Amino acid sequence: MVYETDSDVPVTFPVIDISLLSSEDELQKLRSILSSCGCFQATGHGISVECLDKMREVARQFFALPVEEKQKYSRSPNEAYGYGDDLVVSDNQVETCCYRLLLRVFPEDQRRMNLWPENPADFGKTLHEYALKIRSVMNDLSKVMARSLELEENSFLNQFGDQPVLETRINFYPPCSRAEVLGVKPHLDRSTITILLQDKEVEGLQVLTDGEWHTVPVIPHALVINLGGLMQVMTNGMFKSPLHRVLTNGNKLRMSVAMLDEPEAEKEIGPLDQLVHSSPRLYRNVRNFAAFNYECFQKGKNSLEELKI
């Protein structure tokens, strides 16, 4: 299927103007996409071009710093937060080529400020302001997705507890000429919703749909919306969380900024009661899905398959 963007450039990947989701036709289009591939590019999200470009710029400035400067924010051994490359947890894991900065943004009192870069000087302010806007988009999408399933609009948001989590994973993929090396190996996200700000020029993200890998094209000011495994659990499989991966580029570096929302770690999450009346319950409840999903990922297992009843 071919979709049209605002610039009239046809792309073979779903695009939704989320400012139009009050329309029943657009709402059904959203439900259809989330029930099939679980991923789309969002235009009409209301975040200014200046804000998007500023977030990209401070991320690029950080990764352009000398190694010794970036290492001031290095993650500790066997910890995820901070700057570094992939953790090595087994001798047979797939080789990847990616450096990332993982930070908790909300709740604010859970930020580990020793890991927040002070160079560039406006990094923290820019990330905070960007995250507030992304959280607003996520909340609006959660309500719309609930309505598309004929649920009360806060049905998903009510599962998150009083202190829902928002984290950012800023990814930097240096040029790599070895085709067998991935930027990120195939995985499911641990979130309910992931919002990705792609590189403005260099492609690399691929989503598995219908058994084939499809490249997500660059639409410079669109946001990539990807459902995480928790959303598939909460919807009892009605919405899909797609496997996705990142390819490396032999000549060009690539950067992206992912924002992931999660409930409080100890909140028990399972299929919503309203969605298991008409079909069998597919998944058992789970606490701290983020840790469970990561453990499965490193063992080469699919967390959703492991949760099936």
User: Encoding tokens for residue 166?
Assistant: 């928002």
Residues 6 or more apart in contact with residue 238 via CB below 8 angstroms: 35, 149, 275
Provide mean pLDDT across the span 61-90.
88
What pLDDT score does 85 carry?
A: 87
Residue 138: in which H helix or E strand, if any? Answer: helix 123-148
Asked whether the predicted pLDDT for residue 38 surpasses 50, the reply is yes
Summary mean pLDDT of the chain = 92
User: What pLDDT is attached to residue 102?
Assistant: 97
Q: How confident is the model at residue 8 (pLDDT cuts 50, 70, 90)?
A: very low
Handedness of CA 176, 179, 169, 112 (dihedral sign): negative
Q: Tell me the pairing of strands 39-43 and 223-227.
A: antiparallel
Domain 15-307, CATH number (from 3.40.50.300, 2.60.120.330, 2.60.120.260, 3.40.50.620)? 2.60.120.330
pLDDT above 50 for 6:
no
Buried b (16+ CB within 10 A) or exposed e, 264-277: beebebbbbeebee
Query: Taking the domains of the chain in order of start, what are their residue ranges?
Result: 15-307
- Range 22-26 average pLDDT: 94
Cα→Cα distances 275→140, 147, 198, 234, 306, Å: 21, 13, 33, 9, 20
- In terms of DSSP bridges, do strands 15-17 and 39-43 run parallel, antiparallel, or are they unpaired? parallel
* pLDDT tens-digit readout, 122-136: 999 999 999 999 999
Q: Considering the entire predicted model, what is its pTM?
A: 0.93
pLDDT category at 29 given cuts 50, 70, 90 is very high
Of the two residues 54 and 265, the one the predictor is more confident about is 54
Confidence of residue 294 (pLDDT cuts 50, 70, 90): confident
